[in-house]
């Protein structure tokens, strides 16, 4: 469709942390740094791991817990080093079909919510079944990139 796409993602490992009781913006900041320390060597092998994109944030309706995640690079998918920070964990996300809406610019939590609501409206109007109680934000760019930024919101297809 012109305003969204349906993607199939394979099973993959992500390194994640859950930040509780903060604003989404603050949770993203704290979560990013916890995960960044992991890829900089705060793991059992003291191994530096390449930064990957996207950085995702799980947003649940009416909930102030946010799960921030980095994709584990392909070369570490089979055996990622275990985190040494007890707040950081490796998770395996099962294969899934996702409805994706892309947008540019600097994405604030408000902008992500606005885009997620627009995607949800479109999916409902088209009779597409999806899990409405949560969505993921996905950011692809460094904060230092000023132009041609790429952001997404994801809903899981039912």
Q: Are 20 and 64 in contact (CB under 8 A)?
A: yes
Query: Is 108 a residue whose pLDDT tops 90?
Result: yes
Q: Tell me what the pLDDT averaged over the chain comes to.
A: 97
Residue 153: predicted pLDDT = 98
- How large is the greatest C-alpha to C-alpha distance in the chain, in angstroms? 49
Residue 118: predicted pLDDT = 98
Q: What is the pTM of this model?
A: 0.96
Q: Are 63 and 111 in contact (CB under 8 A)?
A: no
Q: Are 109 and 23 in contact (CB under 8 A)?
A: yes
pLDDT tens for residues 33-87?
Answer: 999 999 999 999 999 999 999 999 999 999 999 999 999 999 999 999 999 999 9
| Domains, in order of start, for the chain | 5-156 (3.20.80.10)
Q: How far apart are CA 67 and CA 146, in angstroms?
A: 26
Residue 1: predicted pLDDT = 78
Query: For strand 5-9 and strand 134-139, is the pairing parallel, antiparallel, or unpaired?
Result: unpaired
Residue 2: predicted pLDDT = 86
Q: Are 18 and 85 in contact (CB under 8 A)?
A: no
Mean pLDDT, rounded, for 142-156: 95
């Amino acid at each position: 469709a012109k305003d969204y796409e349906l993607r199939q993602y394979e099973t993959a490992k992500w390194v994640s942390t859950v930040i509780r009781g903060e604003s989404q913006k603050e949770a993203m900041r704290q979560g990013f740094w916890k995960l960044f320390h992991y890829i900089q060597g705060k793991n059992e092998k003291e191994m530096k791991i390449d930064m990957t994109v996207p950085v995702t944030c799980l947003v649940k309706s009416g909930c102030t817990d946010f799960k921030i995640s980095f994709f584990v690079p392909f070369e570490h998918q089979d055996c990622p080093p275990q985190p040494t920070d007890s707040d950081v964990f490796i998770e395996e996300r099962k294969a899934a079909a996702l409805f994706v809406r892309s947008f540019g610019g600097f994405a604030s939590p408000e902008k992500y919510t606005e885009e997620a609501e627009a995607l949800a409206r479109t999916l409902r109007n088209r009779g597409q079944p999806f899990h409405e109680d949560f969505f993921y934000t996905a950011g692809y760019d460094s904060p230092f990139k000023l132009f041609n930024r790429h952001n997404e919101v994801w809903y899981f297809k039912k």
